[in-house]
Amino acid sequence: MAFKTEPMTINIGPQHPSTHGVFRLRVTFDGEVIVDVEPIFGYLHRGSEKLAEERNYVQILTLTDRLDYTASMTNNQAYCLAVEKLLGVSVPERGKYLRVMTAELQRVASHLIAVGFFLQDLGALATPLMYAFRVRESILDLFEMLCGARITVSYMRPGGVFAEPPEDFWPALRRFMEEAPGLIEELENLIMENEIVVVRTKGTGILGIESAIANSVSGPVLRGSGFAWDWRKADPYDIYDQVDFDVPVGNNGDNYDRFQVRIEEIKQSLKIVSQCIRQIPDGLIRAELPLVLRPPAWQESYGRVESPKGELGFYLVSDGSVAPYRCKIRSPSLINLHVLKELLVGWKLADMIVTLGSIDINLGEVDR
């Protein structure tokens, strides 16, 4: 027999990576059952879009690193595409290959963060997270060889990339590519059929295709619902039309599917990196551009990429000066949060923690 209790509203949070005091949920419960949810954010506001209007086009790159700082390479890439459209310049082939290669390594690193902390939310104390970090640290070592930074890299530039990889980068990358598939398989074998993972994630936090599309979600959250939409396929940028990869999708749109899609995308990203290593041509890494960029006045552009969390876009308007007149960021973490209420109402407190983790948000780009 079900008993009706007096509704109780409580504050919950932070319960997810990167929500250190800047995100909470106001949840109304009937017993343990969630009857209403209000996500509350707004305490991290950095004003990145307004700051961009006071910096020149190259300096803004350092702001993009700090949006989703677990995926700074793809942030760089989206911004650079927008600037290049304003300028009407093309990137040399070698520069494009370096961009795609590093962006896919970043996707692997970001998904490993998502998977590791998702399992932490399930109560798997540290072990799976350390398995994920073991691979991620190797990727950050490669980034450090490229540009001297591990997290906020600022590696890409309008017109190409910052620098040619050093000689010892390529042997290190090949060693990583030999080791990574086995390490990912080891992690997969540890968790994918784990009884606790299966029971807590299959059939919970279900998001249907129609609702996912209606709420403009993207990335693994959308593909977990069974919709095979990926901007790398739908509107290829850089050299994505020259590499072969699949777009993993889920069947049920539940927490397990979103989690599994990220695991499968890691494998596809490694496949893309392998092709880049084989195909990358010699030549310039960056187009010849002035030190200070001045796009034509009153032009606008939108540069978008398929970031690890979904569609990341930069809308720029130029006024002929060294800084954009307007900068607007379309961040997937913010848009994907729109379905949170739909995912949580009717489920219980323990399910809420797991479902929030399956969305994989980063408050750096939610409250930018």
3-state secondary structure the chain: CCCCCCCEEEEECCCCCCCCCCEEEEEEEECCEEEEEEEEECCCCCCHHHHHCCCCCCCCHHHHHCCCCCCHHHHHHHHHHHHHHHHCCCCCHHHHHHHHHHHHHHHHHHHHHHHHHHHHHCCCCCHHHHHHHHHHHHHHHHHHHHHCCCCCCCCEECCEECCCCCCCHHHHHHHHHHHHHHHHHHHHHHHCCCHHHHHHHCCCCCCCHHHHHHCCCCCHHHHHCCCCCCHHHHCCCCCHHHCCCCCCCCCCCCHHHHHHHHHHHHHHHHHHHHHHHHHCCCCCCECCCCCCCCCCCCCEEEEEEEECCEEEEEEEECCCCCCCCEEEEECHHHHHHHHHHHHHCCCEHHHHHHHHHHHCCCHHHHCC
pLDDT at 1 over 60: no
Written as one letter, the residue type at 188 is E
For residues 262 and 114, the answer to whether their CB atoms sit within 8 Å is: yes
Please report whether residue 296 resides in a domain: yes
For residues 336 and 359, the answer to whether their CB atoms sit within 8 Å is: yes
Q: Which domain holds residue 234?
A: 56-336
- Rounded to a whole number, what is the largest CA-CA distance in the chain? 74
What's the whole-number average pLDDT of the chain? 92
| Residue closest to 19 by CA, chosen among 80, 76, 87, 70 | 70
The set of residues, in sequence order, having a beta carbon less than 8 Å from that of 323 and lying 6+ positions away, is 52, 53, 54, 55, 56, 57
Tell me the pLDDT tens digit for each residue of 222-249: 999 999 999 999 999 999 999 999 999 9
Give whole-number Cα distances, 306 to 9, 44, 287, 332, in Å. 37, 24, 23, 10
Where residue 216 sits, what CATH number does that domain have? Answer: 1.10.645.10
| Total structural domains within the chain | 1
Joined together, the tokens standing for residue 233 give 């396929």
> What is the distance between the alpha carbons of residues 85 and 315, in angstroms, rounded to a whole number?
11
Chain-centre distance for alpha carbon 126: 22
pLDDT at 19: 55
Tell me the pLDDT tens digit for each residue of 302-322: 999 999 999 999 999 999 999
| Residue closest to 17 by CA, chosen among 111, 143, 85, 154 | 111
Please report whether residue 183 resides in a domain: yes
pLDDT at 173: 97
Label residue 194 by pLDDT band (50, 70, 90): confident
Joined together, the tokens standing for residue 48 give 């990145």
Strand partners, 79: none
Tell me the pLDDT tens digit for each residue of 53-76: 999 999 999 999 999 999 999 999
pLDDT at 347: 93
Please report whether residue 4 resides in a domain: no
Tell me the pLDDT tens digit for each residue of 72-112: 999 999 999 999 999 999 999 999 999 999 999 999 999 99
Please report whether residue 38 resides in a domain: no
Please report whether residue 47 resides in a domain: no
Please report whether residue 282 resides in a domain: yes
Please report whether residue 286 resides in a domain: yes
pLDDT at 309: 96
For residues 339 and 215, the answer to whether their CB atoms sit within 8 Å is: yes
> What is the distance between the alpha carbons of residues 82 and 66, in angstroms, rounded to a whole number?
18
Please report whether residue 82 resides in a domain: yes
